[in-house]
Amino acid sequence: MLALILNCCTILLGGSIGLLFRRVLKKEIFEEVLKVVGLTVIIFGALGLFQEMLFIEDGNLKARHELLLLVALALGAFLGTVLKLDFRLKKLTKYLDEKFKGKRFSEGFITATMVFGSGAMAIVGSIRAGLGDLDILYLKAVIDGITALILASTLGYGVLFSIVPIFFYQGLFVLLTSAFGNFFPNDFISAFSAIGYALLVAIGINFIFENKIKVINLIPALGICILWFVIKSLL
């Protein structure tokens, strides 16, 4: 849990520094930086997605998880829309906006939570930490700290509050892995990470084109991935 706590601390530190820079530099500068961050997130997500889906067999390039990716994202979007996840979360964060009087609390909280939590490093790093290998989570802590600085400078202090869902989300993987050891098969980690990378690409698009995709409504895709492998293991 030490690496997880460090991860949250770097988000707080980077976000706090970003808020200080926000008062000094012009808003236009950070808006342009945010677009560059969006482009970087898209590239990172796409590369991760290709890494998880593409492999070479007998000299030929092949793909895996493509059917699961399509089904999980499509059903996830359907369920998320029916359950009005995006609407309900925005309603909650609007309440927090009014309570804390923050202009961009909602956007900062949601965006930071998705950026820090949807990538493969959050999943794999937490699982490896549960198995005693903290290196990936330490690396993620450094990356998250830098990202938090940039996000907080443009999206405000809502970024700092993202440590709450991140702590419980990653902590769940750490505890489960600590309890069950090598319970998670590599194929599951790969598929789950691929969906996480796909969500990351969607987040990057929203950075550049101002929330064209309701990423929150896609979250059930992760649950569908889990259900897929549970059913698969029973057959």
| Predicted local confidence at residue 203, as pLDDT | 81
pLDDT digits (tens, 9 = 90+) for 39-90: 888 888 898 899 889 988 888 889 999 999 999 999 999 999 999 988 887 7
pLDDT digits (tens, 9 = 90+) for 103-124: 567 778 888 887 888 666 787 7
pLDDT digits (tens, 9 = 90+) for 1-44: 788 999 999 999 999 998 887 777 666 776 777 788 788 888 88
pTM listed for this prediction: 0.76
What does the buried/exposed string (b/e) look like for 191-224 if buried means 16 or more CB atoms within 10 Å of the residue's CB?
Answer: bbbbbbbbbbbbbbbbbeeeeebbbbbbbbbbeb
